[in-house]
Structure 1
Amino acid sequence: MSENPDLYELRLGVYGTPDEVARLAESARGMLGQRARGPASALSAWALRVDSGDQPIEPAAGDEVPASEMTVAEMYDDLPQQWRDEHPGEEPGAHTTAVIRAGVLAPEDTAYDLLDALQRLACPDPEHSGPCPIPWQAGLTPPGEEDSRAYLGYHYGHLRGGGPGAA
């Protein structure tokens, strides 16, 4: 794996109440902030945002990469059904689909370690029996393909210029 930092986007799609989504986002900010501290940290910089279900799963990257026609809710359309299956007879109330996006400037192995840590915020014990409290799904956009590099550069290129912290 590469030791040189590059841009990656970590994603945690969730189906939860606005308070649950906000708590997860704050936990993610705390985790990233802690991981970025110290001169030996492999996480050079990071930025985090939360997109609601009606936003495109891949926002436009200027004129180079148009926005995806698929929304966050469409990408994670199995999460509401998972919640209904795990809570028979209950009404979802204020539950909504959202995605927590973290752009990171880090070596590849660190980006994957951060993705694992992000997943553990939603599910601290992957071997537990029963459903997770908040249905979730995680993914990562690596810088391998031209469109991915353009997308990452457009949304997170500012991370190349500065130190750690939420932008």
Structure 2
Amino acid sequence: MQDPIQLICIECNNRTSIIVGFPGETDKEFEELLKFIQDVRFDRLGAFIYSREEGTPAGLFKNQIPEKIKQERFDRIMKLQEELSRENNGEKLGKITRVLIEEKITDSNNEFIGRTYMDAPEVDGVIYVEGEKLTIGEFADVKIIDTLEYDLVGKAI
């Protein structure tokens, strides 16, 4: 399935957050969710395990999902997203992107950490940047030269 957002905006990310193990979630619904994630290929996906809270309507539902099943579902989603993230990152190899330089890597002369305008601090991946004369708080054009699980590696040009 071609992401309609990518048809309009090449430099856009699609993201979502998912709760697994909500009371009444069936195996069929979970499998449909996995297929949906596979088809859409989210750039960023946050997954959370439903946690029963006393005094909430959902906490009173009779069809609570066992913790073991919730954890298994969570693990399957994260494994799939890790694979998709690697593939999505692989498509960025050799491309040039604008990166905000945020910090210098300790004990390094010319290695920095930055992020693009599409990456949220503390929840999204980063770009490890090699380059001279980079200034924290300023932007640099960076060519992506390697990929990690959720992060990218680049060289300032």
Query: Is the pair's TM-score, using the shorter chain for normalization, greater than 0.5?
Result: no
TM-score, with normalisation over the residues of structure 2?
Answer: 0.30
Provide the TM-score with structure 1 as the length reference.
0.29
Larger RCO: 1 or 2 (CA < 8 Å, sep 6+): 1
Greater per-residue strand proportion: 2
> Which has a greater percent of helix?
1
Q: Which has the larger radius of gyration?
A: 2
